Structure 1
């Protein structure tokens, strides 16, 4: 999964790296999902995709295939397939590292000693029922996102000049028209009015001709 850098005005020094990572809320913490998601958002992440899923033992074995043969593998599979989980694709600068830092040490007991504000310290129970999972690198993030979201297209997130050029070309002209019309109309609910206007005036919306003729065969 390629990283996307935003450059400074000189175009030389990267300022931030925008990444995607997979985050799981495990069965033992699903009942606290809303609290965890609130912490995620407050920590600067954007939740790009989210789904609730109950994995079968076979699916869980495939997801954790790298741990196959290890002593804890059977209990890990049994635990992760014991109930629903929440899968999320998160994005922000250096998302993989920041998410793992927010999650804390794998063992919840250690997390409470060394990282008391981490998610595993707050919501985990032990070294296996530790509330959350996070991808450990770019390659695993790409694989895990595709596993949990098969239809997901893992592409670079536009940033820097690429994002600014796209906005200037494809977004700003239409948005400016909508905001101008909004000022003229002064609706009671400006947000809903603008949303409806943008839906109706989307330049990429397929257009169907009002007038057409159907020629019957002779």
Structure 2
């Protein structure tokens, strides 16, 4: 089995905001988020001041809709969520849809938004935007850098691949009724970093 057999997963975090016009549908929206494969790492309900909204949307400063945007976002509570999954930033953006939508579109902004301004949801545009926005909404958050693709592949190759391939080979031989449970049990029993039993004496693996 070569490297192509292993899916390359890049776990990301992104910020989602449920805006004032959609706050009454927050439970329904959070249920959709979970069903789409996201983990909700952090959640916070707050009401921002106009000054805080100006700071959060600083990239929109000078645009014609900036005063309306800050007034709207400070008009009621919002729910801030830190979401995580593979390719979280792009996937969340695809789910909520573009800033301007029509009701015929299949996206959350079309379903829950009421206008181009009151479009129900926010999503970070990029990795750097996500890091800034998560820190803005959750100031005590420690955002550790994600490992590079090369670091991830090296780690898996060194510590995981050989044992996992052995386990998968044994799984195919036995063909158990519940393969996930069987493989998990096999990996626990055959953990190369666990204690080894030699002649009844438990020795720590070197």
Residue 115 (structure 2) pairs with residue 126 (structure 1): yes
Alignment of 1:1-218 (within 5 A): 10=3, 15-108=8-101, 110=102, 112-113=103-104, 115-116=105-106, 118-156=107-145, 162=155
Return the alpha-carbon distance in structure 1 between the equivalents of residues 120 and 153 of structure 2. Answer: 35
Return the alpha-carbon distance in structure 2 between the equivalents of residues 152 and 160 of structure 1. Answer: 27
Return the alpha-carbon distance in structure 2 between the equivalents of residues 29 and 23 of structure 1. Answer: 12
Structure 2 gaps of 5+ residues are 161-183, 189-206
4+ residue segments displaced more than 6 Å: 11-14, 158-161
**Deviation for aligned residue 1:103:** 0.3
Return the alpha-carbon distance in structure 2 between the equivalents of residues 160 and 34 of structure 1. Answer: 38
**Deviation for aligned residue 1:134:** 0.3
**Deviation for aligned residue 1:17:** 1.1
Secondary structure (helix, strand or coil) at the match of 1:59 reads helix
Return the alpha-carbon distance in structure 2 between the equivalents of residues 41 and 132 of structure 1. Answer: 16
Structure 1 gaps of 5+ residues are 1-7, 167-171, 177-218
Deviation readout 1:57-89 (Å, 9 max, x if unpaired): 000000001111110000000000000000000
Secondary structure (helix, strand or coil) at the match of 1:16 reads coil
Secondary structure (helix, strand or coil) at the match of 2:98 reads coil
Change (3 A) 1:30 1:160: farther
**What is the root-mean-square deviation in Å for CA atoms of aligned residues?**
2.7
Change (3 A) 1:54 1:162: farther
Change (3 A) 1:150 1:9: farther
Return the alpha-carbon distance in structure 2 between the equivalents of residues 46 and 87 of structure 1. Answer: 14
Aligned residues: 158
Secondary structure (helix, strand or coil) at the match of 2:141 reads coil
Return the alpha-carbon distance in structure 2 between the equivalents of residues 86 and 144 of structure 1. Answer: 13
